[in-house]
């Protein structure tokens, strides 16, 4: 069973938001294959290293439904992840997201 899901990541800075995409491993909480949109990590560094960095969140989407969750960033290694407690809660919310009937079309 593939427990890896595509997510959108938002690194929140005081004056801007850095958007990226990645793959969340629901078994481990690791986020891999992070690709930034309109942001040069090589030139600017990891968004979490910026002095105006505030927090990072993730978004899991299924059709028109979304689940938002907290993402941890290790500034030393540059790795993104979800904590064990957040991952447990996310699994329950994601299960509901993927098993609900889609809303009726208007």
Domain for residue 44, yes or no?
yes
pLDDT digits (tens, 9 = 90+) for 31-79: 999 999 999 999 999 999 999 999 999 999 887 888 999 999 998 999 9
As a three-state string, the secondary structure of 41-81 is HHHHCCHHHCCCEEEEEEEEEECCEEEEEEEEEECCCCEEE
Give how far the C-alpha of residue 13 lies from the chain's centroid of Cα atoms, to the nearest Å.
15
Provide the domain limits for residue 50.
4-99
Domain for residue 48, yes or no?
yes
Domain for residue 85, yes or no?
yes
- Per the structure, the count of domains in the chain is 1
Domain for residue 22, yes or no?
yes
CA angle (7 as vertex; 4, 10 as ends), nearest 5:
145
Domain for residue 104, yes or no?
no
pLDDT digits (tens, 9 = 90+) for 85-96: 999 999 888 887
């Amino acid at each position: 069973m593939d427990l890896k899901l595509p997510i959108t990541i938002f690194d929140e800075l005081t004056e801007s938001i850095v958007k990226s995409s990645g793959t969340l491993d629901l078994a481990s909480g690791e986020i891999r294959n992070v690709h930034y949109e309109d942001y040069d990590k090589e030139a600017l560094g990891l968004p979490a290293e910026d002095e105006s960095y505030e927090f990072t969140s993730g978004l899991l989407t299924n059709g028109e439904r979304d689940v938002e969750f907290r993402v941890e960033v290790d500034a030393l290694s540059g790795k993104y992840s979800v904590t064990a407690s957040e991952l447990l809660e996310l699994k329950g919310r994601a299960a509901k997201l993927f098993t609900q009937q889609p809303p009726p079309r208007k």
